Amino acid sequence: MKIVVLDGYTENPGDISWAPLQELGEVTVYDRTAYEESPLIAERIGDAEVAVINKTPISKETIDKCPNLKAIAVLATGYNVADYKYAAEKGIPVMNVPVYGTDNVSQFAVSLLMEVCSHIGHHSDSVHAGEWASNVDWCYWHYPMIEVSGKTAGIIGLGRIGTNTAKILRAMNVKVLAYDRHQHDAGKQVAEYVELDELLSRSDFIFLHCPLFPETEGIINKENIAKMKDGVILINNSRGPLVVEQDLYDALESGKVAAAAVDVVSTEPISKDNILLKAKNCIITPHISWATKEARERIMNTTADNIRAFIEGAPVNVVNNSARI
C-alpha cells in the first residue's frame, strides 16, 4: 500500500512520529505541497493508493489524474478541502478525524476570553521592557481589568466543544446561554437554550462554536451586532467566515464590541490587508486552538486507524457515503 502525505508539517513538525502510518505501507511525507489547485498535487500523489491531506486540496481534476487513488484521509475534522462528492462518484472514500481536540479547543476559547479580560501577555511584555522597575507606583495596568464571575456567556453552537466550554464557564460562576438548532440533554445540564436574538441581547461574552454552514456564514454581521449589549466581548475559534470582518471592525472601532479574540479569519493564512489587523482591541492568533501535541497524536492515531480500516475493507469515519451527502 502506497501512502502519500501531501502537507504533513502542521500535523507533525518533528515532535511526533509517523510510525502509525508507516506500519501500514510505504509512506512518503511532504511537509508542504500547495494550498490551492496545482499540477504538483497530482504529480506527488502519483500511483499512491491513499492520499493524506490537511489543507492541500484534492479536486475533481486531481482525482482524474490519479487513477490509482483509492482513498483520501484528512488530518482534520473539516473535509471540504477534498471534492468529496466527486470522490464518492469514483468510489473513493474520504475519511476524517471527527473528534480529537474537544478539551484543548475549549481550553483555548476560555484562554482567549481570559486574555481579553486580564491582558496577561501585554503586561508581561511591559514588565520585561522595564516598565514595572521604573514605575512610581507599586503596580499598574494599561487596560480595565474585567471580572468574569457573575457575567453571562452566550454560546452559538452547543456541540461537543460548545458543551465543554460551557462546563468550564459554569465552573467560573458564569451563566451560560446557548443557541443551537439541535438541543440535547448534556447541553441542557450546562446551559439555558434560547433563541439567537435573546442570546445576543443578554450575553456579556459571545462564543462561536458552530460549524460553517450556509445558514451560519456571516452570522456575526452588523444586524446581529446591533442586537448585542454595548461592550460585548466576542470569541471565535471556530471558523473565520462566521464573522463579517468589516462589520466586526466597525463595531470594535465604535466600541459597540469592546473586544474580540479570534483564532480564525476569513482567509488563512491571514491576508496582509485583513481589516481586523487594523482593529483596536482585537487579539488574533494563527489558528492554533487544535494544535497541542496530545491532540495531534490523536489525529495521527485516528488517521492510521481510518486507513487500516479501509485496507481491511470496512472503512470508518467516511464523510462521503450515501447517507452523508
- State the catalytic residues: 239, 268, 287
What SS3 state is found at 147? coil
Give me the amino acid identity at 85: K
Which amino acid appears at position 164 of this protein? N
81 close to 61: Cβ distance less than 8 angstroms: no
Identity of the amino acid at 298:
R
Q: What is the DSSP string of 267-289?
A: SSSPPTT-GGGG-TTEEE--S-T
Q: Which residues contact 259 (CB under 8 A, 6 or more apart)?
A: 116, 233, 234, 252, 281, 282, 283
Residues 322, 211: Cα–Cα separation, whole Å: 21
242's enclosing H/E stretch is none
Range 64-72, long-range pairs (CB < 8 A, 24+ positions): 66/42, 69/45, 70/310, 71/95, 71/307, 71/310, 71/315
CA atoms of 239 and 209, how far apart (whole Å) = 8
